[in-house]
Amino acid sequence: SAARAAVGQARFFSNPPKTIALHDSPYAVVFLLFTPSGGDAVLDSFEYFWYSPRHRNCATNEKNAVERTMETDILTQKVREFIEQMGFGDDIEAVEGFHGMTVRISVRMKKDSNLLIGEYGNNLFALEHLLKKSIRRRGEDDLKFTLDINEYRMKKMEDLKQDVKTAAKDVRLYKKEVPLRPMSSFERRIVHLLLAEYPDITTESVGDEPRRRVIIKPFP
């Protein structure tokens, strides 16, 4: 097997320790850490990582990282131009997205932020929609992002996490379904991701837009 071959290969290494990467499947890689002992190679530890088929080697990962950086720079510049043309925006940067899902373009404003955010964030969501339409018209529809102003959405995400944790506790305690408030598709995805690691809880989106919501249920 690949593991036995790695042990044999490790006998010839003179500088301990040595890590060998084994690609035993198209979706995983095993890292084996060997150290010498009496002229032989002894397996100290191993780690097993899953990855998607589109990221099968380091070269591809590096290429994708460069492409993501370029896309992020393009997004940041386009948002900066758009906001500045409206006469707003003091500081614009790209930061880590919500739950690692997308790039978050963060706009920091010293004044007039309430005007761009609007009640319940409606103006912010509309502005994001206009930005995405503008970018798609230029043939760059693969650039995915969320727009945030003065961390409004980030704070809302923190509130959402607390609401989800509270609802999950109620589901576990009372063994009954708990419906959450109507949410955007983005917020619903966050809820599904947050609860995916709970083995005794399942989630389901029900209803029609704009009243579609997530139901948290006991499992099984």
Q: What is the pLDDT of residue 174?
A: 95
Phi, psi of 30 (to 5 degrees): -110, 130
Q: Work out the average pLDDT over 12-35.
A: 42
For the segment 181-191, the average pLDDT, to the nearest whole number, is 88
Residue 144 has pLDDT above 70, yes or no: yes
Check: CB of residue 196 under 8 Å from CB of residue 183. no
- Please answer whether residues 207 and 198 qualify as being in contact, where contact means their C-beta atoms are separated by less than 8 angstroms: no
Alpha helices by DSSP H, the chain: 2-10, 58-85, 113-117, 122-137, 152-174, 185-195
Domain 58-150 has CATH 3.40.50.300: no
Each domain of the chain, given as residue ranges in start order, spans 2-53, 58-150, 156-218
Q: What is the pLDDT of residues 46-95, one digit of tens each?
A: 443 433 444 445 545 554 555 566 677 777 787 788 877 877 766 777 66
Query: What's residue 115's pLDDT?
Result: 84
Nearest in space to 98 (alpha carbons), one of 188, 182, 215, 168:
188
pLDDT at position 117 over 70:
yes
Residue 58 CB contacts under 8 Å (≥ 6 apart), including other chains: none
- Span 112-137, mean pLDDT? 84
Instruction: State yes or no: pLDDT of 44 exceeds 50.
Output: no
The radius of gyration of the chain from alpha carbons, rounded to an integer in Å, stands at 24
Q: Which of 93, 129, 120 is nearest to 108 (CA)?
A: 93
Q: What is the model's pTM?
A: 0.56
Q: What is the largest CA-CA distance in the chain?
A: 72
Helix, strand, or coil (residue 171): helix
Q: How far apart are CA 213 and CA 205, in angstroms?
A: 6
Q: Quick check: do 58-150 and 156-218 share a fold? A: no
CATH number of 156-218: 3.30.1370.50
**Strands 103-108, 145-149: parallel, antiparallel or unpaired by DSSP?**
parallel
